[in-house]
Amino acid sequence: FGPPGTGKTMLAKAIAREAGASFINVSMSTITSKWFGEDEKNVRALFTLASKVSPTIIFVDEVDSMLGQRTRVGEHEAMRKIKNEFMSHWDGLMTKPGERILVLAATNRPFDLDEAIIRRFERRIMVGLPGVENREKILKTLLAKEKVDDNLDYKELAMMTDGYTGSDLKNLCTTAAYRPVRELIQQEMVKDTEKKKQRETTKASEDDEEKGERIITLRALNRQDFKEAKN
């Protein structure tokens, strides 16, 4: 559990990859159906599939929306049936030693979970906001394949982004990377306009101009790009 964008889903996928297990991502939309009784069937099908492709990690994203408190006012009977069916199959895993199925879940609102659900999670991991050192590592990873200025100080960037999640840092890098592209497009538009005026003045055709491929080079990302992207 933890704030949005801190990498909870990515962490679950990494666990599955390291364990060499199948990964089944489950959400409210994949379980619910407009037909009566189909919701429970979908839950049973989920655990049947997990058993067939085991070892398996069942990952319930935004678990509070599907397995929230059963005492919630105005909750539909169908939701209670989904929770009871899910917990029944989950408990069944404990009685089958050969079953290699692990249930993981992520939520931004851990206090909205049903107590029976919380009790079934043997380990709870708080995925908080990255510190300065981790933000620096994330930035270096995100910009590893990008053309950056040699004088770009990753430590300074990390200090500038206090309170940012991993997702926020990714969006920052994406926004910053667009600045050189926009500048290049504007430069090319100016060049094309000047060439057009020159052709009209000299009455020369495009065929008269020197032919050859136009080489387009993006400049390196610099500190100002990130400063503008942040603002």
Q: Residue 193 belongs to a domain with what CATH number?
A: 1.10.8.60
- Shared domain for 110 and 177, answered yes or no, is no
Q: How many CA atoms lie within 13 A of 3 on its CB side?
A: 11
The pLDDT value recorded for residue 158 is: 93
CA distances to 143, 150, 178, 181 from 146, rounded to whole Å, are 5, 12, 12, 13
Residues whose CB is less than 8 angstroms from the CB of residue 45 and which lie 6 or more positions away in sequence, other chains included = none
| 30 belongs to a structural domain | yes
Q: Residue 178: which domain range?
A: 132-230
- Shared domain for 116 and 181, answered yes or no, is no
- Shared domain for 15 and 79, answered yes or no, is yes
CA–CA dist 80, 48 (Å, integer):
21
Number of domains present in the structure of the chain: 2
| 214 belongs to a structural domain | yes
Kindly report the number of other CB atoms within 10 A of residue 120's CB atom. 17
- Shared domain for 46 and 136, answered yes or no, is no
- Shared domain for 34 and 105, answered yes or no, is yes
Which amino acid, 175? T
Q: Is the pLDDT of residue 77 over 80?
A: no
- Shared domain for 188 and 98, answered yes or no, is no
| 127 belongs to a structural domain | no
- Shared domain for 24 and 61, answered yes or no, is yes
Q: What pTM was computed for the model? A: 0.74
| 144 belongs to a structural domain | yes
Read off the pLDDT of residues 206-229 as tens digits, 9 standing for 90 and up: 555 555 556 778 888 999 999 999
What CATH number does residue 109 fall under?
3.40.50.300
| 125 belongs to a structural domain | no
- Shared domain for 174 and 90, answered yes or no, is no
* Residue ending a domain, choose from 97, 120, 143: 120
* Residue ending a domain, choose from 120, 148, 171: 120
Tell me which DSSP letter residue 7 carries: S
Read off the pLDDT of residues 133-166 as tens digits, 9 standing for 90 and up: 999 999 999 999 989 999 999 999 999 999 999 9
